[in-house]
Amino acid sequence: MDEQIAVEELIQLEEYLSLYPEDDDIDSDMEVCFSSESESENEEDTSNSENRTNVINFHREGNKKNLTNDQRKFLVDRLLMMSTDGVLPKGAMKTMCEEYNVTRVTLWRLWSTVKSQLQQGLIVDVNNKKKGRAGRKPKEWDLEKIKAIPIEKRTTIRALANALEIGISVVYRLMKSGKLRAHTSSIKPSLSDKHKINRLRFILGQIIPRTVDSLPRFSCMYNVIHIDEKWFYMSKQTQRFYLFPWEEEPYRACQNKRFIPKVMFEGVVARPIIAENGVIIWDGKIGIFAFTQIQYAKRNSCNRDVGTAETKAIQSITKEVIRSKLINEVLPAIRAKWPAGSCKEIWIQQDNARPHINVNDADFNEAATKDGFQIRLTCQPAQSPDLNVLDLGFFAAIQSLQYKAFPSNVDELVKAVEDAFDAFEPKSLSYTWLHYKYIMLEVLNCDGGNKYKNPHKGKKKLDNLGLLPTEVEVPEDLIQKTMEHLQDAA
């Protein structure tokens, strides 16, 4: 008796395979052709593969529920073709579940619905009956309760969850839904009222008044040079790498991670000159100069012989060191790289660091008036790194490039920084100068303070569309408001 049943099942399986040849209906990617017409039309479609247009993908490894309507119709059609008078052959359910990665409960539920509709003489309809936003409704949270929690207890997701006495996953879902947001707070320089007034006066001095043909705007600044100093470290304390599972983690070591070797550099940049068609006439990069000196080894060691020349970083940067760097390296570089035909009355803007020389330094002024140049020093307002192009992003950009070189000594570090300086795109430097003007506009809006959001204007996108402005206009009412604020503060 068992042998007879096995023979009958084998015959039915052969008929099933003859109706659905593997190379026609099911390809290697488990993509199955489906048509929502009647059974006879489906048989015609299986014989004519050129007319197949609707393809259903049954790659459902993660989620075995939530079938689409097309998938439900396809499974029902296959079950109807395999059934005889509403009875499925033995093992058909198991075969379908394994073949299409569907749970047995889901398939039995579909088949029960079909049999019930056939018995009642109804049209077979297995579409999902859920309307609109189905499922469990999101829980409403009292946002005032979250607001009442002190800000110092909202520094991590775990801390906020503990304060609210809810799960961490709930807080994460609130963030994903947009009801909470993460913010990274950076410490900014402290500003007094005097600092704010000086910042406002400095920015007002950069504005060209209204003319017959144009509104008030910031000056073009093509004859302004920004200089600043920055320490560049040999490497970061922590560095991320992406490795294969079988790769060994890189080993990095130093004698004391609090004293990683470093070299101070002085960056000197001006605004690039770019034509309307995007051609770069001048890149604006004058140079980046390392504060180093050559020293000779005084005794033998395992690393070097006595008298070997070594490049050492100057750790103590004094006025004399700054003056020597400006006169002997920066000024000659400006005269050599300054574009021909440009204005030779140049302003060098520096910050108020103590080692910087006075704007009326006699030695500097004597060297700055050679070859027809009139180069003068000026200082930006105190506590205002946001009013210097180098601090706005230039140094950070070339430092990220420098860290990719992994230098092992001072000479390699100097070369890595110089290579990063040369590799920096002139257009990106031009964007930074334009961003500097947007920053000055934000400073005016907050009465000289620095509590403003970084203005993101999508400069690269506007440049690609040919809509990027070269100058930034200043609203007249904002100028009037600033003037009134200065009069009240006087």
Please report the pLDDT score of residue 11 as a whole number: 53
Among 450, 433, 414, 397, residue whose Cα is nearest residue 272: 433
For residue 366, how many C-alpha atoms fall within 13 Å in the half-sphere facing its CB? 5
Domains of the chain and CATH, by start: 2-119 (no CATH), 143-177 (no CATH), 193-489 (3.30.420.10)
Distances (CA, A) of 136 to 12, 139, 172, 227, 330: 44, 9, 18, 60, 68
Q: Which amino acid is at 448?
A: G
Phi and psi (nearest 5°) for 351?
-90, -170
| Nearest residue to 97 (alpha-carbon basis) of 78, 116, 124 | 78
Q: How high is the pLDDT of residue 474?
A: 93
- Find all residues with CB under 8 Å of 453, minimum gap 6, and list them: 442
- The pLDDT score that the predictor gives to residue 265 is 95
Q: Is the dihedral of CA 406, 412, 413, 416 positive or negative?
A: negative
Q: What is the SS3 assignment for 289-306?
A: EECEEEEECCCCCCCCCC
Q: What pLDDT, on the 0 to 100 scale, is given for residue 55? A: 44
Separation between Cα atoms, residue 127 and residue 73, nearest integer Å: 8
Q: Going residue by residue through the chain, which has 490 residues, state the pLDDT in tens, using 9 for 90 and above.
A: 444 544 455 455 455 444 444 434 333 333 333 333 433 434 444 444 333 334 455 544 444 457 788 888 888 888 888 888 778 888 888 888 888 888 888 888 888 888 888 888 888 888 877 776 667 777 777 778 888 888 888 889 999 889 888 889 988 888 888 888 898 888 999 999 999 999 999 999 999 998 888 889 999 999 999 999 999 998 888 888 899 999 999 898 888 888 888 999 999 999 999 988 889 999 999 999 999 999 888 888 887 888 888 889 998 999 999 999 999 999 999 999 999 888 899 999 999 999 999 999 999 999 999 888 999 999 999 999 999 999 998 999 999 889 888 888 899 999 999 999 999 999 999 999 999 999 999 999 999 999 999 999 999 999 999 899 989 999 999 999 999 999 988 7
Query: What are residue 31's DSSP bridge partners?
Result: 57
